[in-house]
Amino acid sequence: MKKTLIAVAVLGLMAGTVQAQEVVVKIGHVGPLTGNIAHLGKDNENGARLAVEEYNAKGVSIGGKKVKFELIGEDDAADPKTGNIVAQRIVDAGVKGVVGHLNSGTTIPASRIYNSAGIPMISPSSTNVTLTQQGFPYIFRTMANDAQQGSVIGKYAATKLGKKVAIIDDRTAYGQGLADEVEKGVKANGGTVSSREFTNNQATDFSAILTKIKAQNPDVIVYTGMDAQGGPMLKQIKQLGIKTRFVTGDGGCTPEFIKLAGDSISDAAYCTQAGLPLDQIADKGFKDRFKKRFGADVQIYAPYAYDAAAALIEGMKAANSSDPAKYLPALKKVQFKGVTGEVAFDDKGDTKFGAITMYQFKAGNWVALK
């Protein structure tokens, strides 16, 4: 009796030590989980969560110890003030790396906090050029930036769709930055910008600015902002009897946009997406695994959030350490096959393999143009 008791106790101790050897490494994700674009924030979080769960299932060992990654999801409400507070909070919570934020407007101010705390941050979707031009060694992104995207839109609009272009942006860091690049792209390719108009990311009525644009009779209207405004805007374009082509950036390149535009959308609508279309990404099974795990379709950036989380983990594996200062050099040099394709960063922290795809609306869907 006594012997069995001791045996049980010993077994218990052993079990205890086995558990103690499993180290928990926290990875943060920040994006808007409330507010206008909460659906996109949740999409990103799910992408990062899937990466973390799949690496956990495979089993990762760092420094000879089995590691369990834990994703801490936080909400920045797409608001720069909240973004900074949340950034400080997850730094204090001891995360070893951060995936996020979603919007350029929140990512840029928060990047300073991560950089001074020495925590690597990889944004899956902030495309504003400034983010990686601040000289912050800890800041990366897995998405092509606005300079690349804007020049593609500007060139396409001015050379393929018509010379006279009106540009509307939503006055966020993303919309404004992208619109500036579109304007440069249009002018560089011999087009003119008939006007720059502005709205905001809460607006639902665009009739006034659209009426003004109508009077100038442009060939193309470019909107740089999110789907929540872009869809209703396209409706109002039709209601005001405006017949021009419509181009929007990656924020509008979503199934949501098509739903919101209803019967107003036609093959005169185009959008661009930094990165590859979902059916052209390297990992064909991603879409189904995502749907199976979360019961929701991929909105836009989830594959890039997956790769951002994967890059952090690959960096830790390569350096054999989860200490940010130790794995940062490995993260800078990391190169692996992610779900979107090859993942690697240039010396600024921008992605090396940033692709831009142009889409046109055809038969109920955004169809990638070759």
Partner 1 sequence: METLLQQIVNGLVVGSVYALVALGYTMVYGILGLINFAHGDVLMVGALVALQVIVFVQKTWPALGTIPTLLIGLSAAMIVCMALGYIIERTAYRRLRNAPRLAPLITAIGVSFLLQTLAMIIWGRNYHSFPQLISTAPLQPVDGVFITPVQIIILISSALLMVALILLVNKTRLGRAMRATAENHRVASLMGVDTNKIIAITFIIGSGLAAIAGVMFSSNYGVAHYAMGFTPGIKAFTAAVLGGIGNLGGAMVGGIVLGLVESIGAGYLGSATDLCHLPLWAQSASLQATCANGGSFELLSSNYQDIFAFVILGIVLIFRPTGLLGERVSDRA
Q: Which of residues 147-186 bind partner 1 (CB under 8 A)?
A: 164, 171
Q: Pick from 39, 89, 289, 326: which binds partner 1 (CB under 8 A)? A: 39
Binding of partner 1 at residue 259 (CB under 8 A)? yes
3-state class (DSSP) for residue 42: helix
Binding segment for partner 1 (CB under 8 A), chosen from 30-38, 58-66, 277-285, 310-318, is 30-38
Binding of partner 1 at residue 256 (CB under 8 A)? yes
Q: Which residues contact 12 (CB under 8 A, 6 or more apart)?
A: none
Binding of partner 1 at residue 42 (CB under 8 A)? yes
Binding segment for partner 1 (CB under 8 A), chosen from 13-21, 139-147, 228-236, 300-308, is 228-236
Q: Pick from 68, 89, 184, 214: which binds partner 1 (CB under 8 A)? A: 214
**Amino acid, res. 225:** G
Binding of partner 1 at residue 56 (CB under 8 A)? no
Q: Pick from 239, 280, 320, 365: which binds partner 1 (CB under 8 A)? A: 239
The string over 207-242, giving b where at least 16 C-beta atoms fall within 10 Å of a residue's C-beta and e elsewhere, is eebbeebbeeebbbbbbbbbbbbbbbbbbbbbeeeb
Q: Interior CA angle at 270 toward 266 and 273, to 5°?
A: 140
Q: Pick from 33, 90, 131, 157: which binds partner 1 (CB under 8 A)? A: 33
- What's the closest the beta carbon of residue 180 comes to partner 1, in angstroms? 13
Q: Which two tokens stand for residue 242?
A: 């405006």
Binding of partner 1 at residue 139 (CB under 8 A)? no
Q: Are 126 and 155 in contact (CB under 8 A)?
A: no
Binding of partner 1 at residue 133 (CB under 8 A)? no
3-state helix vs strand vs coil in the chain, percent to 5: 50, 20, 30
Residue count (the chain):
370
- What's the closest the beta carbon of residue 41 comes to partner 1, in angstroms? 8
Q: Are 125 and 106 in contact (CB under 8 A)?
A: no
Binding of partner 1 at residue 203 (CB under 8 A)? yes
Q: Which residues contact 130 (CB under 8 A, 6 or more apart)?
A: 104, 108, 173, 177
Count of positions on this chain that bind partner 1 (CB under 8 A): 44
Q: Are 145 and 155 in contact (CB under 8 A)?
A: no
Q: Are 175 and 168 in contact (CB under 8 A)?
A: no
Nearer to partner 1, 197 or 314 (CB): 197
Binding site for partner 1 (CB under 8 A): 33-36, 38-39, 42, 164, 171, 192-200, 202-205, 207-209, 211-212, 214-216, 227-228, 231-232, 235-236, 238-241, 256, 259-260, 262
